[in-house]
Amino acid sequence: MTNNTNDKTLIKEVSINAPLNLVWYAWTISERVSEWFAPETVIEAKEGGTYELFFIPGDRTGMNTMGCKITKFIPEQKLNFTWKGPDQFKNLMNNEDTLTTVEVSFKSVSENSTKVIVKHIGFKDNENWIEAFNWHQMAWSGVLESLKSTLEKGEGNLCCKPLNNNVS
């Protein structure tokens, strides 16, 4: 995927009181990802591997990142994967030629502290994409809060639950 100068970039970061290896595993082992991000996941932790999240248990047709792949995999440093937006944006950003990319960087701050930076690229800078960009700004904040809460206290909330099951 090429970046145009017209593309918008979303950047979120969080510091987590947990060792780097545990934070890395939280992103790269299916069972760990399902504790804080999406209830069902299929992750093949290697470049070219699958990075699929299913936000509604048992539903493989909606609210998922089916078909998304890991594009960069540097253990305990970098994890990049293609991304599909939620169903309300599927016609805008979920076709093969409009997929965005999530770049996650990991940095050990100390023995028990890790900084995670999520850089989501590929949003077009036009009015059709404004709502999708804003939605992802909110969603990534919630995702990183859940990751932090899960790793520090074991109390993560899964992201992007259907509205009728929404937890505030």
Both tokens of residue 18? 């947990």
- Res. 18 pLDDT band, cuts 50 70 90: very high
Instruction: Give residue 126's pLDDT.
Output: 87
Q: Are 114 and 122 spatial neighbours (Cβ–Cβ below 8 Å)? A: no
Instruction: Give residue 168's pLDDT.
Output: 36
Q: How distant, in Å, are the alpha carbons of 16, 66, 149 from that of 108?
A: 10, 31, 18
Q: Which of 2-11, 68-77, 103-112, 121-130 has the lowest mean pLDDT?
A: 2-11
User: What DSSP character marks residue 2?
Assistant: P
Q: Are 101 and 80 spatial neighbours (Cβ–Cβ below 8 Å)? A: yes
- Res. 154 pLDDT band, cuts 50 70 90: confident
State percent of the chain over pLDDT 90: 82
- Res. 7 pLDDT band, cuts 50 70 90: confident
Tens of pLDDT, residue by residue over 46-100, are 999 999 999 998 899 999 999 999 999 999 999 999 999 999 999 999 999 999 9
**Residues 89, 67, 147, CA angle at the centre, nearest 5°?**
75
Q: What pTM was estimated for this model as a whole?
A: 0.88
